[in-house]
Amino acid sequence: MKLFNRESRAEKLAKKGSFFFKRAEPQDDAPVDEETVVDIEAVEEVEVVPEEIIIPPRTVTELAETVLQLSMKKGAYPPASDGEKEFARNLRDQAAEIKDVKVRLEPYYIRPLLGRRSLILLAGVLLLSLIFYFGYTPVALAILLLAAPLSLLLSLGRKEAAFLLPKRIAYNLVAVSEAEQTDKTVIITSSYDNAYGSPYRSARLAKLEKPFLVAAVASLPALILFSIVKIAVGFETVPELVTLSLLPLLIMLPSIFYLATYTSWDKRHIVENNQKATGAALAAFEYFAARPEERPENTRIIFAAFSGRQNGNSGAFAFLKQHWGRDDLLVNPAVIDIETIEGGKFVLPGYDNSGFQPSGTDATAKLKAALEEEKIEYTALGKELAAGAEHAFAAFSKNRIEAATLILKGDTDAPSNEIETVEIETVEAAINTLIAAVKQYK
């Protein structure tokens, strides 16, 4: 893999040397005698080495301040958008300023509709099925049994039917800090792109968003049941007519509307909180790049910023497809992922409900040890629904690579489409946790 690097200003200055000869020059108004004449052969050659400019490594507090400054820039960075590409290039330039680091952008193909944005496809399938339900019910049942599951899998970020969706180019950022010898690799990861938001994510509806979504998806098996009963019984009596006509309408129409409008295409609703997590991951990477003596022995440190987390972890899978088993970049790898920084509630999800993958046992244990070392309270989740979905560790777990994810959640009653105010102490705690987790691999 060819990576490129930029020399820091200090390195360029250090390479510039200068030489001069000590020579006594006669003055115009002074007499020339033997005492003022210098033998050229006896001139002493002196090498003048410029004073080395030593730039001290930035402290964690300074790194945290930079993270907050960068996260103040608002913008829309959904996968494969122009904003995402601009942000990726800016992130590359920032990483390239770190001394002795190799950086590159890695393009890959992404399906922008994969993930929650496919809920609109599920809504279309349900609407078509409802129309045929009142026309020719067997066709409605066939659509529900064939097309609806595919749409549901797409909305969960599964790639079994992803070939049906259009693809575009997105980017991963990879920065590498090499060791003199490499026996293992620790990858600090995050996702830098924004997720499309929802008009239902407001202070009043935040607690009802997920129950409504589950109820809307549950209308799929409900319509299958109604179709089977209608085929078997028909509309022979008034009670049957009421039950098999009005009830499906009352259930399906609100569900279809909710699913069709759940993902907002309006940039005003785009979630803008991943910059802090990406900045914290880059800060932890810079910490070890500037302090090689503190990294685990013979350990290569990698910073990887992915795009497409909510598109079936497309960026993480593309990273693995390019490097895992194809080159020597990932030597005995382990992954520490930080997903979002929305507040001060530290959470360790133990399961990905869309990829159906657990987090790595050893990686999770090291993150827990790091949190306990920093004396930070945290919540560890198992397979419950609250564990969430579309975590980056799922891509690595699927490839049998130890990986775990750290999430900093905020106030659940706050609007989740908006940037929340995060104190610098919270960002410092996140960076220190990542640093302590890397050191667990000594």
Reported as a single tens digit per residue, the pLDDT across 87-102 is: 899 999 999 999 899 9
Coil, strand or helix: which one is 356?
coil
Taking residues 403-423, what's their average pLDDT? 72
Single pTM value for the model: 0.79
Q: Which residues of 200-234 are buried (b: 16+ CB within 10 A; e: fewer)?
A: bbeeeebeeeeebbeebbebbeebbebbeebeeee
Least confident of 50-59, 307-316, 328-337, 428-437: 50-59
Collapsing DSSP states into helix, strand and coil, what is residue 56? coil
Residue 24 confidence (pLDDT): 35
Model pLDDT, residue 76: 67
Under the banding of pLDDT at 50, 70 and 90, the label for residue 178 is very high
Which has more pLDDT, 241 or 374?
374
Under the banding of pLDDT at 50, 70 and 90, the label for residue 25 is: very low
Which of 63-67, 72-76, 358-362, 412-416 is predicted least confidently? 412-416
Residue 209 banded pLDDT, cuts 50, 70, 90: confident
Looking at residue 195, the DSSP 8-state letter turns out to be B
Confidence of residue 28 (pLDDT cuts 50, 70, 90): very low
pLDDT (0 to 100) of residue 204: 67
pLDDT in tens, 189-199: 999 887 677 77
Q: Categorize the per-residue pLDDT at 33 as very low, low, confident or very high, splitting at 50, 70 and 90.
A: very low
Q: φ and ψ at 157, to 5 degrees?
A: 85, 10
- Could you tell me the pLDDT band of residue 350, with boundaries at 50, 70 and 90? very high
d(CA 154, CA 119): 8
pLDDT of residue 225: 93
When mean pLDDT is compared across 8-17, 71-80, 349-358, the lowest value belongs to: 8-17
**Amino acid, res. 72:** M
State the pLDDT at residue 40.
34
pLDDT at 38: 37
DSSP-derived 3-state class of residue 419: coil
When comparing pLDDT for 263 and 343, which is higher? Answer: 343
Q: How far is it, in rounded angstroms, from Cα 82 to Cα 146?
A: 36
Residue 203 has a pLDDT of 60
Q: What's the whole-number average pLDDT of the chain?
A: 82
Tell me the mean pLDDT in the region 45-65: 72
At a CB cut-off of 8 Å and minimum separation 6, what does 350 contact?
358, 359, 364, 380, 381, 382, 383, 387
Give the strand pairing for 402-409 and 333-341: parallel
Other beta carbons less than 10 A from residue 51's beta carbon: 7
pLDDT at 425 over 70: yes
Cβ density class 306-345: b for 16+ within 10 Å, e for less: bbbbbbbbbbbbbbbeebbeeeebbeebbbbbbbbbbbbe
Tell me, what's the pLDDT at 138?
94
* Residues 237-248, mean pLDDT to the nearest whole number: 83
pLDDT at 426 > cutoff 50: yes
User: What's the pLDDT at 46?
Assistant: 44
With a pLDDT cut of 90, the percent of the chain lying above it is: 52
CATH architecture observed for domain 60-110+170-197+270-439: 3-Layer(aba) Sandwich (3.40)
Alpha-carbon span 208 to 231, nearest angstrom: 35
- Using DSSP bridges, classify how beta strands 184-191 and 18-21 pair: parallel, antiparallel or unpaired: unpaired
Q: Looking at residue 109, what is its pLDDT?
A: 94
Q: pLDDT band at 70, cuts 50/70/90?
A: confident
pLDDT over threshold 50, residue 31: no
Residue 261 CB burial class (10 angstroms; 0-12, 13-18, ≥19):
middle
pLDDT at 30 over 70: no
Q: What is the pLDDT of residue 16?
A: 39
Does 208 have pLDDT greater than 70? yes
What integer pLDDT is reported at residue 380 of this predicted model? 94
Query: What is the location of CATH 3.40.630.10 in the chain?
Result: 60-110+170-197+270-439
Q: Which residues, 6+ apart, have CB-to-CB distance to 238 below 8 Å?
A: none
Q: Residue 269's pLDDT is what?
A: 58
101 and 177 in contact (C-beta within 8 Å)?
A: yes
Over residues 352-392, the pLDDT tens digits come to: 988 889 999 999 999 999 999 999 999 999 887 777 888 99
Output Rg (C-alpha) for the chain, integer angstroms: 29
- Cα separation, 115 vs 117, in Å, equals 5
DSSP 294: G
Average pLDDT of the segment spanning 5-14? 42
Which pLDDT value is given to residue 7?
A: 47
Q: Determine the straight-line distance between the first and last CA of the chain, rounded to whole angstroms.
A: 27
